[in-house]
Amino acid sequence: MNAKIILLPGDGIGPEVVAEAVRVLSAVATHGGHNLKFTERLMGGCSIDRYGVALTDEVLADCQASDAVFLGAVGGPKWDDPQAKVRPEQGLLALRKGLKVFANLRPVKVRSPLIDVSPLKRNRIEGVDILVVRELTGGLYFAQPKERSITPEGYERAVDTLEYYDYEVRRVADIAFRLASDRRKKVTSVDKANILESSRLWRQVTTAVAADYPGITLEHLLVDTASMRLLIAPRQFDVIVTDNMFGDILTDEAAVLAGSMGMLPSASLGASGPGLYEPIHGSAPDIAGKGIANPLATILSGAMLLRYSLKLNAEAEAIERAVDRTLEKGFRTADLLTAGERAVSTREMTEQVLHELE
């Protein structure tokens, strides 16, 4: 197989973890006789510094013409002025829109060697395997108007609009049900239908989609209830489908189950075209350049790239097994340490994954 992959390492620890993941992807490709061509471009704060915008039209066009896009992380204190007209996150939102990736898949799996890393009790999290499907290009983050104004009384007023169309809900719900059919056949739709009209539409449409999947169980949960159950009874979840903002918040919360945000990969998919793959963690500027970042979420995102964009399922599973064996042998970056363990570097963790692949 020949494939063109655009790399957007971004800011902070992004370039470090992307470089390590590329080593793993290259090793798997070489072993399987595949030709992966990696082309690096700028996005985020680094793009603002060079071009004055977080994502240029030329870089977006390169991404659209690729087979997959691999992203590190964007942002940092240098660009963190809330009043700034240009921010790194604008590049991320524009990239999602430009690639038309509307479904963000975030697997949350508690790996046996890391059970004691989580602050939650072993008997609550053992065996947890959840897939969160987050709607990615609608809702509060994208709808207009967004505005700030001064009222006649002199008060400052800010407005963000929460808007969904039925087709936006239908297409992401359909993906959630299709994925659940290959898992434990349960979908939990999370909304705020007791308050929000957009959530009432969300619930109506997901219920209608469920009728096309008679073998799948559908339950509806309010987001406040879901956030509680995610911590006290996470094994009850299989596939969670929810809107853009709720999905963003719930998956960060779910990092507690896995032990670290450094363990959570993601894939963003559309109806066609290249997928977007990235760890869910941020740019972690406080540890950038120190060689201690956890590369596993990015490496596992690379496995998702192989599975969903290149249809190389065996190669994806090989990476995932290598990560599991690495953890079973006690290798830990600083974010995964418990008492008495020694931290390995970003490079050392990757070296062990590569060793297990052999």
How much is the pTM?
A: 0.93
> Do 192 and 275 share a domain, yes or no?
no
Could you tell me the CA-to-CA distances from 348 to 91, 282, 293, 306, 326 in Å, in that order?
31, 21, 11, 23, 11
Active site residue 277: no
Residue 37 forms part of a structural domain: yes
Please tell me the total count of domains within the chain.
Answer: 2
How confident is the model over 290-318, as pLDDT tens digits? Answer: 999 999 999 999 999 999 999 999 999 99
How confident is the model over 203-225, as pLDDT tens digits? Answer: 999 999 999 999 999 999 999 99
Active site residue 116: no
Question: Which domain, by its residues, includes 123?
Answer: 119-258
Active site residue 109: no
* The domain boundary residue, chosen from 236, 258, 280: 258
> Do 125 and 250 share a domain, yes or no?
yes
Which stretches within the chain are classed as H helix?
A: 14-32, 45-51, 57-64, 88-99, 122-125, 166-180, 197-210, 223-232, 244-258, 296-308, 313-328, 346-357
Catalytic annotation, pick one of 11, 67, 243, 248: 248
Catalytic annotation, pick one of 224, 286, 290, 311: 224
Task: List average pLDDT for each run of 10 residues in the chain, which is 358 residues long.
Answer: 97 98 97 97 97 98 98 95 89 95 96 93 95 96 91 95 97 98 97 98 98 97 98 97 97 93 96 96 96 98 98 97 96 89 95 96
Q: What is the pLDDT of residue 242?
A: 98
Edge-to-edge strand ranges of the sheet holding 217-222: 35-40, 2-10, 68-73, 275-279, 265-269, 103-109, 129-135, 239-242, 186-191, 217-222
Residue 265 forms part of a structural domain: no
> Do 334 and 276 share a domain, yes or no?
yes
Distance separating alpha carbons of residues 55 and 255, to the nearest angstrom: 28
What CATH number does the domain containing 161 carry? 3.40.718.10
Catalytic annotation, pick one of 11, 109, 192, 277: 192
Q: What is the pLDDT of residue 340?
A: 73
Q: What is the pLDDT of residue 81?
A: 85
> Do 289 and 337 share a domain, yes or no?
yes
> Do 178 and 237 share a domain, yes or no?
yes
* The domain boundary residue, chosen from 237, 258, 279: 258
Catalytic annotation, pick one of 11, 67, 109, 141: 141
Residue 124 forms part of a structural domain: yes
